[in-house]
A and B are shown apart, each in its own frame.
Chain A
Amino acid sequence: SAVISQKPSRDICQRGTSLTIQCQVDSQVTMMFWYRQQPGQSLTLIATANQGSEATYESGFVIDKFPISRPNLTFSTLTVSNMSPEDSSIYLCSVDIYNEQFFGPGTRLTVL
């Protein structure tokens, strides 16, 4: 299994600003994933982040809006740039270990 922590757990931000979300795992993992869950909706995959390479983004998500860093095998960040109220969501990271994906607790973002 894996223990995943995210910071911050929640935040309220002004439109036009940026927020960086951190994801820390207690073991080394190759693949990390970032998801968004809009209010009342299911999870949507934003990107896959492998250590040592550029993140791979899903359709509808671009690096300029959601830059991702993956400096080592236990850590990743997702930045939500130039935020608008439509970015209000829960952002979750996950890791894949032996064919199971473990999810962090999520970061609840509200954009005013």
Chain B
Amino acid sequence: DAKTTQPPSMDCAEGRAANLPCNHSTISGNEYVYWYRQIHSQGPQYIIHGLKNNETNEMASLIITEDRKSSTLILPHATLRDTAVYYCIVRDYNTDKLIFGTGTRLQVFP
């Protein structure tokens, strides 16, 4: 079973920051938090991952709370092309398996 819970949907205005929350209260010490997104009819696309430190790349920032029980994905300037389903995944570093939850459907509007 997925170890994450996310809101089913969110809206964001174009050009504004999109902040997508994720709860993973049962995360273990060797498990990473991964974020993927799936644009309609395509395979999921990797966004970012982290263990306990905040991470930033060209796509997004990942903020992980100190107790690691929750995290937030930040898209700093959302565009219409960011409309997608965003999946927060807790991944076991030993098995490499990704167990997908239900995700958050982000709708970016003009």
Query: In the complex, which of the residues A44, A48, A106 contacts B100, with contact meaning CB atoms closer than 8 Å?
Result: A44
Query: Any chain B CB within 8 A of the CB of A33?
Result: yes
**A interface, size bucket:** 20 to 34
B97 near A105 with CB under 8 A, answer no
Q: Are the CB atoms of A103 and B43 closer together than 8 Å?
A: yes
Shortest distance from the beta carbon of B4 to any chain A beta carbon, whole Å: 11
Judged by DSSP, the binding face of B is loop
Which residues 10-26 in A have Cβ within 8 Å of B in the complex?
none
B109 within 8 A of A: no
Q: How far is the CA of A34 from the CA of B110 in the complex (A)?
A: 36
Does A96 interact with chain B (Cβ within 8 Å)? yes
Secondary structure of the A contact surface, majority rule: strand
Query: CB of B68 within 8 A of chain A?
Result: no
Q: Give which listed residue, B49, B87, B97, B101, contacts A45 with CB less than 8 A.
A: B97
Chain A interfacial positions (CB closer than 8 Å to B): 4, 31, 33, 35, 42-45, 48, 92, 94, 96, 99-106
A-B contact pairs, 8 of them (CB 8 A): A4-B43, A31-B96, A42-B101, A45-B97, A48-B96, A48-B97, A101-B96, A102-B46
User: Lowest 6 A-B CB distances belong to which pairs?
Assistant: A103-B43, A43-B100, A42-B100, A96-B96, A100-B46, A103-B44
